[in-house]
Structure 1
Amino acid sequence: MNRLKGKTAVVTGGGSGIGFGAAKRFIDEGAFVYLFGRRQEPLDAAVAQLGSNAQAVRGSVTDMADLDRLYERVKADCGRLDILFANAGAGALAPLGEITPEHYDHIFDINVKGTIFTVQKALPLMTEGASIILTGSSTGVMGTPAFSIYSATKAAIRNLARSWALDLRGTGIRVNVLSPGPIKTELALEVLGEEGMGTIGATTVLGRMGDASETGGVAAFLASSDSSFMTGGEVFVDGGLAQV
């Protein structure tokens, strides 16, 4: 399929995991993708795999100058932005009683503040037909032990999409949330470990963990005109974990 032919996309946190899976699918469907992330080595490795339709820009979603530099480059190269996948995120375990201000600040700064300004600074480059995709999580609608701060950030992401859909009324720009469940990613394995991810995967209705290619397929749908009558919504890619 070439649903995204000629489109320009930005994927934050695009060097690995869900971001890389989406970037690969966007490129497979015809888009040019800018990968934005904090670590140069994964970005370079991703571009090497993705080929000439991908470029890497190093920076942090919590640094306003880095975001400005990203969008200045997109503007200079392409003049517009058709797809924004605001996917950069962080997570760490901390049960009630052990939550520190540093833990709270780190998770909220990346997941909430970073998402807000990633989107807001992109808006001048977006026009009618553009699509904004935010990464949520099945934890945003579930109770998860020792994961309350991360889960709260994802509940916040869900409401941002609802509110922004109203703010964007009349622009033709859509915003939706893609909420994964247990997906095999570097971040998930770092936070939960192989055993923990296996345990969670076994609790899904499908009885397994998901793959980043599966979230990538849904991201491509939300990025394309096939989802043209969807905004303010949430699509779960969680093996049924939070659905039944």
Structure 2
Amino acid sequence: MELALYGKKVLVTGGTRGIGRGIVLAAARAGADVLTCHRQDGEAVESLLQALKETDGDHHVIRADLGGTAEADRLVGEAKDRFGRLDGVVNNAGVISHIPFGELSAEEWSRVLDTNLTAAYRVIHQALPLLGEGSSVINIGSRGAAAGIPLRAHYTAAKAAMIGLTRSLAKELGPRGIRVNVVAPGVIETEAFDAMPAERAAGLRATYAQKTALARLGTVEELAGPVLFLLSDLSAYVTGETVNVDGGI
């Protein structure tokens, strides 16, 4: 067996920036046909479209805001119309904000939970008829789900709940040959670091160099690797797991 995804049909939510973008491009380059979505048009969307045009396969980038269940349903409908089936689903779409708990409004709580957790439920739920034996669902979690992060109670709660959802679905869907796992990143250096003041970015790199066994931040490619493994047939006996990709934080 080899780590290749030739002929597999894969849906990746939130795939035009950061971790999601890295997963989309890695999966496409490994041979999968990939459909992904974004909330807003912009340069990131255009550059991803160009990169996918230069990559063999049947790839699609669709606008969909997964904060609403109707949009999640529409996205899966697009996957059905274009692919007819799905061999892999990667729930990556998410939002985050940093708010003291005492100031956390019900509206912001709902926004973050809806996008980070409820959207994953809805995508998996609607995709079930498209998933056959040997298919793989990967939920992108966070190392912070186990550690807890101040000012992110809503985000941390959503990511912790993702682990419970994954464990339950792994047991329920396992008899159908569908695997469900979490990949939990630590601090991954995305293009967001380029948008920061140089001093702040350098400070973050230095801080996490001291906190991780590997003494550095992770790269998007290093996060995409374990996702490809879980999408591939190499992981045929792996389900219900949380794979921490955090450099030994």
- After the TM superposition, which parts of structure 1 deviate over 4 Å for at least 4 consecutive aligned residues? 186-191
Match of 1:229 in 2: 237
Asked whether the equivalents of residues 188 and 197 of structure 1 are also in contact (C-alpha less than 8 Å), the reply is no
Match of 2:215 in 1: 207
Query: Per the alignment, in what secondary structure is the counterpart of residue 237 of structure 2?
Result: coil
- CA drift of 1:189 comes to 7.9
Aligned-residue CA RMSD (Å): 2.1
Q: Cα–Cα, structure 1 residues 165 and 9, in superposed 2: closer, same or farther, change >3 Å?
A: same
Match of 1:136 in 2: 141
Match of 1:26 in 2: 27
Query: Per the alignment, in what secondary structure is the counterpart of residue 134 of structure 2?
Result: coil
- CA drift of 1:43 comes to 2.6
Distance of 2:115 and 2:203 partners within structure 1: 24
Q: Cα–Cα, structure 1 residues 47 and 162, in superposed 2: closer, same or farther, change >3 Å?
A: same
Letter in 2 for 1:9: V
Aligned residues: 241
Alignment of 1:111-190 (within 5 A): 111-186=116-191
Distance of 2:128 and 2:189 partners within structure 1: 31
Distance of 1:122 and 1:200 partners within structure 2: 40
Asked whether the equivalents of residues 8 and 83 of structure 1 are also in contact (C-alpha less than 8 Å), the reply is yes
Paired residue for 1:57, among 54, 57, 62?
Answer: 62
Structure 1 stretches lacking a partner, 5+ long:
none
Deviations 1:191-222 (A, max 9, x none): 9x635642552221211111111111111001
- Identity value in percent: 36
- CA drift of 1:7 comes to 0.5
What TM-score does the superposition give when structure 1 sets the normalisation length?
0.91
Q: Cα–Cα, structure 1 residues 116 and 199, in superposed 2: closer, same or farther, change >3 Å?
A: farther
Match of 2:92 in 1: 87
Asked whether the equivalents of residues 11 and 35 of structure 1 are also in contact (C-alpha less than 8 Å), the reply is yes
What TM-score does the superposition give when structure 2 sets the normalisation length?
0.89
Asked whether the equivalents of residues 91 and 187 of structure 1 are also in contact (C-alpha less than 8 Å), the reply is no
Deviations 1:77-134 (A, max 9, x none): 2210011000001111122322222221121111111111111111111100110000
